[in-house]
Structure 1
Amino acid sequence: MQDGLLPAQDRAHLIASAQKSPVGTQLAVKLIAFNDFHGNLEAAGRNPGVARLATVIDDLRAENPLHAVVSAGDLIGASPLLSALFHDEPTIEAMNRIGLDFNAVGNHEFDDGREELLRMQRGGNHPTDPNTGLGLADDLKDGRFAGADFAFLAANVVDTASGQTLFPAFQIREFLGQKVAFIGMTLEGTPTIVSPSGVAGLAFKDEADTANALIGALRAQGVHAVVVLIHEGGVTTGGANSCEGVSGPIVDIVGRLHGEVDLVVSGHTHRAYNCLLANRDGRPVRVTSAGSFGGMVTDIDLTLDTRSRDVIAVSADNRAIPNDDTVAQSPALTPLLANYTALADGPRKRVIGKITATLTRASTAAGESALGDVIADAQLAATDDAGLGGAQIAFMNPGGIRADLPYSAPGKTDGDVTYGEAFTVQPFGNSLVTLTLTGAQVHALLEQQFTGCTVGYPADAPPAGQPFNRILQVSGGFSYAWQEKGTPCDNVDPASIRLNGAPLDPAGAYRVTVNSFMADGGDQLYVLRAGTERLGGAQDLDALEAYFTANPAGVAPGPQDRIQLAP
């Protein structure tokens, strides 16, 4: 395979010459890629909505009859209410209408566990919720949710009991007799960022090793053109079509890939980039990502040599999709949107409280946000009268806070908070868990915000993931100071940990509230698994609504003074 940054005129010439004769020496194939859609069906803010995404995909498809539409994961999960209220069935139905071909599983596809993910592929109504199977007749099968017409791919997700992959490792698509393989994978570290119970019995294998191990089988089937769809990525310092300052796990993964891999479509980081990264042979491989939420697609052209059956050129262009009338909304999608909008409008427009100003996720240098403070306070208020003396401290993981709460927005009175807005902030449906930790375990929990502190890790814990700070949001009355030193379990000053002004006693017992994701060891906060005297509570969103009800004059932004950077 060869690759390079092709000038526009050379790219056009290659495509034109390849299309002149389907049985000539070259063949042009178009791929249309996106990633991290997260159920963003409606146009909102900078998000163009699925109906405009469909129009752009149709326009690109029209440029070449030889094409495939692919996604690099997190198609569903952490979705806004219009999709999540119906267990993401609307997003699957929308993607069926768009004509998606392949989706590599992402970590958020596992938010509700393997069985629910399998239902997304196979169909059938949700086993416990009647609010499913409400799509239009064209989207149903025997009156039930029909499942995905496209294929989920999961080459590196293996059922430990059977030794089989959860979904097919790859699929092969023929274009006028020329075979192209699509390998789909998620990040190896998925078990460290989803609820462990949701991936129980599944093993997540090394991404590069998994792809490389498939090359022999693909060659045996006469396949020499290989595309990897992977839900893992990187970050850059440049624009959507640049690769300046690229870093992150994708660099190492590509650097270990077999030379037969011709293209890598990536995701997970919600960043847009268009890179050439060296593989294990030092040869450049095109690596792309289209940001998130359907705001961009990657227009990719593969040129195949029909004699060698290999890819001889790859070019790509990240195209932003504006949320305005310059892009029409596809008539194939608007009836689906209208159907679910009508079903969802009642609950999502319901006003649940008031705020005095926008509550944002923007954090201080120490990692504390105004909205994080409010959510932690709401969870403490919901459990401070629970059994065994009630909760004294609440912690909230920042990854569970998915949006700001706006003071002003179309269709509502300034300061009102609607159920739909609150759901967008906390879409996971976690329940609250109050448990007992010692002061020493609370210290260990704070240290586990920084990868590498394995105090309290169970024997079956997966390997620690890439270092990243996930600063927990804390309730009022609790405070501490931290400074990352690069040394495991040595980033939080024990003397700074205080509850209502008093130092935490390492041997003392404290009642702590967290959500069920955290209580299960999510985000590698495994010390929480050791918490005793567990007591289940309300859902997180119900706790937030109750907090608004208890403060009818309006909830102000949190003070952001509970977490400090140590001098």
Structure 2
Amino acid sequence: MSATPQKNRVPRRVLAATAGLVTVGALVAAMPAGAHDKGHGHGHHPSSRTVDVQLLSFNDLHGNLEPPAGSAGTVGETQADGTVKSVPAGGVEYLATSLRTARKGHPYSVTAAGGDMVGASPLLSGLFHDEPTIEALNGLDLDVTAVGNHEFDEGATELARLQNGGCHPVEGCYEKGKKFKGADFPYLAANVTNEKTGKPILKPYTVWKKNGVKIGFIGVTLEGTPNIVTANGVKGLKFHDEIETVNKYAKELDRQGVKSIVALIHEGGAPASSSYNYDCDSPGAGDGISGPIVEIAKGITPKVDALVTGHTHQAYVCTVPDPSGNPRMVTSASSFGKLYTDTTLTYDRRTKDIVRTSVKSAKSANHIVSRDQAKATDMTALIARWNTLAAPIAGRPQGYISADINGRGSTAPEKPLGNLIADAQLEGLAPADKGAAVVAFMNPGGIRSDLVYTASGSEGDGVVTYGEAFTVQPFTNMMNVVDLTGAQLVAALQQQVSGSNEASPKILQVSKGLTYTLDMTKSGAARVVADTIRLNGEAIDPAKSYRVAMNEFLAGGGDGFAALGQGTNKLVGASDLDLFNAYLAAHSTASAPLAPPATDRITIVQ
């Protein structure tokens, strides 16, 4: 999902072992596209002409090894009476059990992912540059994944290390005598090339084989990745059109005799219902799904038999017609390991292609990763091992809250946690020697979780630990304070709902003192009612200069906020996480916890 994908800068040296540093070499540019023979099960050649291949898939795990907390750890399930039930889900201990159970009785089973396996991760994974997540994915028997935008949070060289192994070039190895082995599965980056060589930085595709059955996988991330990742994360890289890239490599696979192809695309859409079990192909469902993936699916060659997607963190199993007008399955399994998709691809041994009927391209459904099932003991041990290493930092109390403060779990444009974060940034950077900020902006995609009141483990109710604060703001962006004119401030507010953000608005979270009206009955920039914008009760002067605080992602014009990228006289301050924790410490105690802030800064007209 669009978010603030930045470099982790949490001081992790206290956890690093004393082993020598291992430096990652150059990018794995132009890695040869090879075969990948890692079929699960113990099947034999069937006597029939066709064989069913099980495709298990998920997306947007974001390093959520432990069950996600609060609303981020639930999925909506429509009941027989039409009501929607919120069901707790997720956690790799349960995901492993779900996948292993699903594979039983399926001699031909392949597991694939749609990107963003790492990045924007909770502390348990993010603190260690997502090595724990790669280890967990190896244990899940993941066969292949596409890169997502978050795979570039720390740059292409770090992504290469996650693929190939080696200890972190700065922090070294985290456990004495243990060297990080890297991913057992290939990361695919067909549409990401080195600007100098023009070649893909990782494999563009791979071929899964089992007893003569061959299925090709092509992996791409969204072409707009540079717009939602810091400049350093994508430096030296070029991102290409998703349709053109998939079609190019589908043709190449076809020439090699690989007729069955699945595209792993880190781009997605929005279903008409938020329930995971919504039938988007049901009569009267309308289009069922909207968003960028629809046009991508319609443009991808019929040579591709199914699309596993992601990025929007939505759950859907839909058919979208290919350019020949035939239905083709397009799936997404929500996020954070809460769901997995089980798709049956019927493989014809004579044609070497997937059988696609005029009604359905495949049989497919999303399934809840229930927490009522047994935990996978190997994943429990993995989590415990890394938790032991993280404990000196993760459990430190940072502050106290009196109730849940929702961020990611809030569907409102103005989020309580967003206001809290923006206020923390303003307070930390308002002093003259810290930047003299008068207002702060926070991008909504950078708020990765909620602050949950209910205790977990040995922690007391209402205690906010370092680990929880990190989960909310895992990017540890450096804060910037810049000069912007009043006209640029107004333009930035208008860019929330216009240009690239018109179809899917990105509403900035604003610090106290800034108020305005957002009229969603209008279109484009007119939705921001200019004459209602006030800062500390005064109208914005277009010619006046204002000191504005924001993270480095926004200061670089990220998320379509070109006006924010025009700032001058930049001062680089502390990290957003440091300011957040300082605010919690200054404004809460065990006897006087912090209450959820009011959401009264943006007046919404619907």
TM-score normalized by structure 1?
0.88
Change (3 A) 1:389 1:529: closer
Question: What is the aligned partner in structure 2 of residue 456 from structure 1?
Answer: none
**Percent identity among equivalent residues?**
46
Change (3 A) 1:224 1:376: same
In 2: Cα distance, 1:24 partner to 1:526 partner = 59
Check whether the contact 2:187–2:202 (CA below 8 A) recurs between aligned residues. Answer: yes
Change (3 A) 1:466 1:189: farther
Question: What is the aligned partner in structure 1 of residue 314 from structure 2?
Answer: 271
Equivalent positions of 1:406-555 (< 5 A) are 406-410=452-456, 411-452=458-499, 464=500, 467-484=503-520, 488-552=524-588, 553-555=592-594
Q: Map Cα deviations across residues 94-145 of structure 1 (whole Å, 9 max, x no partner).
A: 1112211101011111222222222211222222235x443xx9xxxx7321
Q: Map Cα deviations across residues 273-331 of structure 1 (whole Å, 9 max, x no partner).
A: 2112111110011111111111221122221111111111532222212112xx22223
In 2: Cα distance, 1:287 partner to 1:363 partner = 26
C-alpha displacement at 1:27, in angstroms? 2.3
SS in structure 2 at match of 1:420: helix
SS in structure 1 at match of 2:516: strand
Change (3 A) 1:168 1:530: same
Mean CA deviation greater in 281-290 or 153-162:
153-162
Equivalent positions of 1:279-290 (< 5 A) are 279-290=322-333
Q: Is the counterpart of residue 317 in structure 1 residue 365 in structure 2?
A: yes
Question: What is the aligned partner in structure 1 of residue 50 from structure 2?
Answer: 26
Equivalent positions of 1:54-453 (< 5 A) are 54-130=96-172, 132-134=173-175, 143-238=178-273, 239-241=275-277, 242-243=279-280, 244=285, 245-313=288-356, 314-324=362-372, 327-361=373-407, 367-387=413-433, 390-410=436-456, 411-452=458-499
Which amino acid counterpart does residue 153 of structure 1 have in structure 2?
A: L
In 2: Cα distance, 1:107 partner to 1:33 partner = 18
Which amino acid counterpart does residue 302 of structure 2 have in structure 1?
A: G
Change (3 A) 1:393 1:428: same
Check whether the contact 2:194–2:200 (CA below 8 A) recurs between aligned residues. Answer: yes
SS in structure 2 at match of 1:43: coil
Which amino acid counterpart does residue 451 of structure 1 have in structure 2?
A: S
SS in structure 1 at match of 2:289: coil
In 1: Cα distance, 2:532 partner to 2:579 partner = 29
Which amino acid counterpart does residue 462 of structure 2 have in structure 1?
A: G
Q: Give structure 1 regions of 4+ aligned residues with deviation exceeding 4 angstroms.
A: 362-366, 484-488
In 1: Cα distance, 2:90 partner to 2:305 partner = 30
Q: When the two structures are aligned, how many residues end up with a matched partner? A: 530
In 2: Cα distance, 1:432 partner to 1:250 partner = 33
In 1: Cα distance, 2:152 partner to 2:503 partner = 22
In 2: Cα distance, 1:259 partner to 1:181 partner = 14
In 2: Cα distance, 1:350 partner to 1:504 partner = 41
Which amino acid counterpart does residue 22 of structure 1 have in structure 2?
A: P
In 2: Cα distance, 1:388 partner to 1:276 partner = 54
Mean CA deviation greater in 55-64 or 160-169:
55-64
SS in structure 2 at match of 1:496: strand
Mean CA deviation greater in 158-167 or 370-379:
158-167
C-alpha displacement at 1:179, in angstroms? 1.9
In 2: Cα distance, 1:308 partner to 1:362 partner = 47
SS in structure 2 at match of 1:353: strand
Mean CA deviation greater in 235-244 or 521-530:
235-244
Change (3 A) 1:388 1:265: closer
Check whether the contact 2:89–2:368 (CA below 8 A) recurs between aligned residues. Answer: no
In 1: Cα distance, 2:241 partner to 2:579 partner = 39
Check whether the contact 1:366–1:565 (CA below 8 A) recurs between aligned residues. Answer: no
C-alpha displacement at 1:151, in angstroms? 0.4
In 2: Cα distance, 1:332 partner to 1:362 partner = 30
Q: For structure 2, list consecutive stretches of 5 or more residues without a partner in the other structure.
A: 1-42, 74-87, 357-361
Check whether the contact 2:495–2:501 (CA below 8 A) recurs between aligned residues. Answer: no
Question: What is the aligned partner in structure 2 of residue 40 from structure 1?
Answer: 64
Q: Map Cα deviations across residues 455-478 of structure 1 (whole Å, 9 max, x no partner).
A: xxxxxxxxx477311111111112
Change (3 A) 1:175 1:536: same
Mean CA deviation greater in 112-121 or 361-370:
361-370
Q: Map Cα deviations across residues 517-545 of structure 1 (whole Å, 9 max, x no partner).
A: 11122112122222111111111111011
